A and B are shown apart, each in its own frame.
Chain A
Amino acid sequence: MTSALTDYLLHLADNALVLGQRNAEWCGHGPVLEEDIALANVSLDLIGQARLLYQLVARRQGGDATEDTLAYFRDTHEFRNYTLLELPHHGPLSGYAQASLDYGTTIVRNFLFSALMALLWEALENSAYADLAAIAAKSLKEARYHLRHSRDWLVRLGDGTDESHARAQAAVDHLLPYTQEFWADSPAESAAIAAGVGADPGALKADWDAIVDAALAEATLRRLPSGGYVPKGKLGIHSEHLGYLLAEMQSLARAHPNSVW
């Protein structure tokens, strides 16, 4: 397997791990008990998907690579996740700023991402790489539940009180431009598509737009045209927020390398 194809698998794995870790911040802090549990369950699915993909990469790389070395001993520039997924649960603030967790931001991001993954995993079921196709078939079932959950709440918050509407709209305005990265070219994706391993996100955009537009309309939320900077997280160029997230996630494994329990 070429390094470009490994990068592609890491991109899928890092997406799942970083959002799983980010959403786990709600564990014990959910707005209501049911949502606390729902977010924890979504995170478990995502981290489970990441593990399957990291195990696959580790098998391909051989040597001392394991799912743990990939998750805990790579640094910010080696992560290949979309920038969208590493952002904190609030509006635009600097990396060290402290702010209350905003459930509108959480829900909008989960919706935008799971709408993509419900389509991408479906396309990857036909991957020429059988191990990836198997992971896709499993993950698709989970992504559809994640989409259903986040879409329901998107409508409830958008078409809810003045406060919930304003917060959901602010989250849509803040996060939608980051989705431009879904459709931007990357060498890893191009190589994976050329090899029949990856799926072309460009072919999914019309379906993704339809899902997003229908849900936003039902939620009485507006969609502004996206423009400006296109994030480059999948190329390893991240926002300042990923470092803080990784520091928290990796500190234990790095303080006690090779420990097991």
Chain B
Amino acid sequence: MTTTLEEVWAALEDLADPEIPVISLRDLGILREVRAGADGLEVVITPTYSGCPAMGQIEDDLRSTLEKRGISARIVTRLAPAWTTDWISEAGKEKLRAYGIAPPHATPAASTVVRFIASPAKAEAVPCPRCGSANTVETAHFGSTACKALYRCEDCREPFDYFKPY
């Protein structure tokens, strides 16, 4: 029996990110492609942060999900083009917001990237995921994981995570 590409996609459609379980690997843009390789089916993933400890777990989760469905496929890691938060789907961003994590702004165009930010106050406002207020301040560049910064809402006083543009 041969497995179609659609069946592989269907099997992996709802596989959640181990770190932020409200969002799927597909919504995060980590799951890039399912294709027929020379030696059978291949599932292509692109890693997020170099130091993200969840990447090993993600591969294990993919492998065991496929095995459970009796699907044999190889996991291929592709570095280029590099993963970016711009690949997170609109549905995924909404799920992050509902979970209490402010979704990332779009990454700046390469030509306009500043090498350092002299005044963080000029940075684009990050709306509070709970009350929607734009009156928020960054309290730390790095939150519980490298991909998030810590913010506080000055209106509802709630601390929250911001998924940083990457």
- Residues of A contacting B142 in the complex (Cβ-Cβ under 8 angstroms): 34, 37-38, 41-42, 145, 149
Chain B residue nearest to A39 (CB atoms) is B142
B131 interface hit (Cβ, 8 Å): no
For chain B, which range describes its interface: under 10, 10 to 19, 20 to 34, or 35 or more residues?
20 to 34
Given A148-B117, A149-B142, A218-B118, CB of A45 within 8 Å of CB of B82: no
Q: B140 and A38: CB pair below 8 A?
A: yes
Q: A142 and B49: CB pair below 8 A?
A: yes
Q: Is the interface of A mostly helix, strand, loop or mixed?
A: helix
Q: B113 and A144: CB pair below 8 A?
A: yes
- Residues of A contacting B116 in the complex (Cβ-Cβ under 8 angstroms): 144, 147-148, 151, 211, 215
Given A38-B141, A48-B52, CB of A134 within 8 Å of CB of B82: yes
Chain B residue nearest to A53 (CB atoms) is B50
A133 interface hit (Cβ, 8 Å): yes
Q: Is the interface of B mostly helix, strand, loop or mixed?
A: loop
- Residues of A contacting B52 in the complex (Cβ-Cβ under 8 angstroms): 44, 48
Which of B60-68, B87-95, B144-152 is found at the contact surface with chain A? B144-152
8 A Cβ contacts from A18-55 to B: 34-35, 37-38, 41-49, 51-52
A141 interface hit (Cβ, 8 Å): yes
9 inter-chain pairs at a CB distance below 8 angstroms, sorted by A residue, are: A46-B50, A47-B51, A134-B82, A138-B83, A139-B50, A144-B113, A145-B146, A145-B164, A207-B115
